[in-house]
Amino acid sequence: MIKRDDCTGLAMGGNKARQLEFYLGDALNRGCDVVLSTGAVQSNYMRMLAAAAAKVGLECHIQLESRVNNDSQEYQESGNVFLDKLFGAHIHHYAEGEDESGADSEINRIATTLERSGRKPYVVPLAPVEQPKGALGYVLAASELTRQFVDTGLWPDVIVVGSGSGLTHAGMLTGLRIMGVNIPVIGACVRRDKAQQGPRIFQTCRKIEKMLGRSQVVKQSDVWVNDLALEPGYGKASDRVMAAMSEMARYEGILLDPVYSGKTVGCTLMMIESGLLQRHRRIVMLHSGGTPALFAYGKQILSSAAFSL
């Protein structure tokens, strides 16, 4: 089963719509007139932030980090980048790809410059912060998903989500545990290996609990992450991930991207093949969106072995 958050409706869909509701709501409540954030060149988050800001009347500045070694015109200008420009975002560039603190410092420097010119900026964070408000969108999504399980009578053995910044993964896990639902939530690593991602998710869960006035509803043993589909790294797809994308397109008519949803499905299939999900037959996968990125990877995807069959 697939939870279709690629159909959320804003700017070609995606899981970020649920997160941005809380960040932009906070920005508007504070009387801010410009929002800023930082992400990869083909970031779905930046695309949806640009669209949401346009919708509510906020100026938007996004910083694109060079996380993927791909200088092709297709990657640098198509897909999400094209849509960023279409939505009217002001685009900045950050040359480093794996410097989370440096990227954050630079976007905050831009915000300070805007503030000095009389603007009231709001920075949407992607790095860990004390109040990860965006994760609350997936606390609510956990409640929505649980109602759907009740209504249909279809209760899964496990839920698989893409795990990058961690807000979707941690929010879903914390929301389920708050409601007393003990379904395992497995995060398919898309940027960091499981040794780095596991502690990040657990710490984010603790911060969510604090925001909601709860205490230790998530246990360390609740945090499941798997990095079988991570290689060859962020923004790159293995042959197995490409095969998963091909199979979903040709047998289900569902589009996956090579950065997030493709790795979520690919990781799920690899766990099944390796026997890790032998006792988990009923699986729900969260489709987090990412469709525009297909156009940035078009030549690479169609030239892969999976799509040449």
Q: Which residues are catalytic?
A: 43
Closest CA to 123 of 106, 135, 140, 136: 106
Is 17:24 a contact under the CB 8 Å cutoff?
no
With beta carbons less than 8 A apart as the criterion, state whether 97 and 68 touch. yes
267 in Cβ contact with 229 (< 8 Å): yes
Q: d(Cα 280, Cα 290) in Å, to the nearest integer?
A: 27
Asked whether 62 and 32 are in contact (CB, 8 A), the reply is no
Q: Cα(101)–Cα(277) distance, rounded to whole angstroms? A: 36
d(CA 161, CA 51): 24
Q: Tell me if 83 sits within 8 A of 99, measured CB to CB.
A: no
The token pair that represents 306 in the structure block: 């999976």
Sequence-distant (≥ 6) Cβ neighbours of residue 10 within 8 angstroms: 17, 48, 51, 52, 55
Q: Mind giving me the DSSP string for 118-149?
A: T--EEE---S--S--GGGHHHHHHHHHHHHHH
How many CB atoms within 10 Å of residue 303?
Answer: 10
Q: Which of 200, 193, 260, 267 is nearest to 229 (CA)?
A: 267
Angle at 305 between CA 230 and CA 260, to 5 degrees: 30
Tokens of 155: 């209760």
Residue 156 tokens, joined: 């899964």
Closest CA to 225 of 283, 186, 196: 186
